[in-house]
Amino acid sequence: MKKAILFLMLTLAMVYGLWSMDCLSAERAEKVLFSDDFTKDSGKWEVYAGDWEIQKGEYVATEVGEGMAVAGDENWKNYAYEVKFRTDEPGTDSWLTSWVVFRVADPDNWYFVLLHHGNNFIEMGKRFNGQHVSWLQGINDKEVADPLKWQKMRIECKGANIKVFIDGKNYLDFTDPEPIENGKVGIKNTNCTCRIDDVKVTELPK
């Protein structure tokens, strides 16, 4: 009888220990580094270029042109960046839309993902040592979302690997041989007007 009770106690202790570890791992995986729903001011954001303002709880690039705004910590490395975005007025060329930017180490080093308008392309590129690098990876898929409608993008940066999701579907999975290893998050308008909302950055486990 004593052996049975001891066995039961040990089993319960192991189950509790595993449950505690799972909870701790989940808590660590879901640590929020940054969030903004733009219900207050834009004090968390740094404007690199362009005119940006809050309108009805959204962060808006109000003028057609080249603009960029960033937020967060330049030392962030492994994280997931979630943002809702929409291009209001695109430029003539398909790539003149809103660009979701991440790992912004400085104005000359950062990644971007954009949805082309009118042709179902999604593209990842980067600004590297002041030079523009297009098409690190991209696909043409009839299911690629329309940038002129509200879309939700999630970008996961872990080491040199970058994964891009739109509305939960994984479109891009790229490992950069020359990675930008850290940086802030943000949005860029490229000869267009655009807006974002519901920004969240969570830490990813190493």
pLDDT tier at 15 (50, 70, 90 boundaries)? very low
pLDDT tier at 26 (50, 70, 90 boundaries)? very low
- pLDDT tens-place string over residues 60-115: 999 998 999 999 999 999 999 999 999 999 998 999 999 999 999 999 999 999 99
Mean of per-residue pLDDT scores for the chain: 88
Distance of alpha carbon 145 from its chain centroid, rounded?
A: 16
pLDDT tier at 14 (50, 70, 90 boundaries)? low
pLDDT above 70: percentage of residues in the chain: 86
Q: Quick one: CATH architecture of 32-203?
A: Sandwich (2.60)
pLDDT value of residue 3: 53
Phi, psi at 8, each rounded to 5°: -65, -40
